[in-house]
Structure 1
Amino acid sequence: MKNSRRSYSLFLVLMAGAAGALAQTPQWKSVQLSAGMHLIQAEVAATEAQREEGLMYRDKMPANAGMLFVFGAPATQCMWMKNTPLPLSVAFIDAAGKIVNIEDMQPHTLDSHCSSKTVPVRYALEMHLGWFKQRNIKPGMNIGNLPPAR
């Protein structure tokens, strides 16, 4: 009887841990984007709550994965790295899909990284630090298959 109680208790502890791990990795809608010949699997942050959370608390992300922030109206946008342990680069993208500027961001900082004030943007795409530079993706190039902004 003692062994079965211990086994059951261990089972409950393991299940609670698994549920907690799943709760920390939200299941967001994702899209496949293109940047030249490169494919990106991007989670979509389209609501204010999703944009506020972004990649916070994530300590890993696949190599060609990122997060696409979709904004309701074209404007100057700024990003920060509060509670974000991954070093990231962010591409600010206009409504037509053209990259306006790219900024590098360091983990756990509150520094603002903003789009160019002269061109309103509709999207921001966060990828691993240096991802755009390593693939020679620069401002003026297009990101394909962006979802329509609502």
Structure 2
Amino acid sequence: MRGPREQTLAALLFALLVLAGCGGTVPAEPDLTEATGGERAAGACERPRFSEQTPEGVSREPLPVEPVTVRTSDGPVELRAEIADTDATRAQGLMFRESLGERCGMLFVYPSERELSFWMRNTLIPLSIAYIDSEGRIVDLQDMEPLDDEPPNYASAEPAQYALEVNEGFFRENGVRVGDRVELPDSVR
């Protein structure tokens, strides 16, 4: 008889084989570290899946991914974030994506602090956004609706240098609040 860990691993392997046989997207590195029901560790994010209506000229290449940790009063919250640090990658953001991994996001990096404003044009996924100042402090949290490009846009309550987009509800579910600190990757400081 198999134990719970072996049953979970066997079920995961079966699901990956089914996805591969059906032409689905299989994550490059499945996270098997906590197969016994513990909290899933921040692992690799899946390769982006784009809508069939994605226009020519939109990059389908994955961006560099870095670990990001939010220090909350309840403890650290870890995730992996694609780094959007050029005009082109910030402009495209998560447009035309069909999904975003469970503990994945996109970190938008700007040269200096200023009022930031986002919209959801061509963005199919409901998202939450954290605006972060140059010291790594969260200054504003907002939920954003898919395909919402009508003014007023989602503007930061205070000047910010970074914005972190994740699946809607991620911050709430993980106890992330305004005033919490974000440990930003060395590559963006």
TM-score, length basis structure 1: 0.79
Q: Which runs of 5+ in 2 are unaligned?
A: 1-22, 24-48, 51-57
Q: 1:26-50 CA deviation, whole Å, 9 max, x = no partner?
A: 2211110001322110000000110
1: CA distance between counterparts of 2:176 and 2:77?
10
Q: Name the amino acid aligned to 2:62.
A: Q
1:8 aligned partner? none
1:121 aligned partner? 160
Aligned positions of 1:105-144 closer than 5 A: 105-111=144-150, 112-116=153-157, 119-144=158-183
1:97 aligned partner? 136
Closer, same or farther in 2 for the Cα pair 1:107/1:61, shift >3 Å?
same
Q: Name the amino acid aligned to 2:168.
A: L
Q: Residue 72 of structure 1 contacts residue 149 of structure 1 at CA under 8 Å; is this kept in 2?
A: no
More displaced stretch, 52-61 vs 22-31 = 22-31
Q: Name the amino acid aligned to 2:65.
A: S
Q: 1:95-115 CA deviation, whole Å, 9 max, x = no partner?
A: 010000001100011141011
TM-score, length basis structure 2: 0.63
Q: Name which of 59, 62, 69 aligns with 1:34.
A: 69
**DSSP 3-state at the match of 1:52:** helix
Asked which structure has the greater RCO (Cα within 8 Å, sep 6+), the reply is 1
**DSSP 3-state at the match of 2:91:** helix
2: CA distance between counterparts of 1:27 and 1:60?
13
2:92 aligned partner? 53
Structure (1 or 2) with the greater helix fraction: 1
Cα drift, residue 145 of structure 1? 2.9
2:111 aligned partner? 72
**DSSP 3-state at the match of 2:143:** strand
1:87 aligns with 2:120: no
- Computed over aligned residues only, the root mean square deviation of the Cα atoms, in angstroms, reads 2.1
Q: Which has the larger radius of gyration?
A: 1
1:25 aligns with 2:65: no
2: CA distance between counterparts of 1:85 and 1:48?
21
Structure (1 or 2) with the greater strand fraction: 1
**Identity %, equivalent residues:** 32
Q: Segments of 4+ in structure 1 off by > 6 A?
A: none
Cα drift, residue 84 of structure 1? 0.5
Q: Name the amino acid aligned to 1:120.
A: P
Q: Residue 101 of structure 1 contacts residue 115 of structure 1 at CA under 8 Å; is this kept in 2?
A: yes
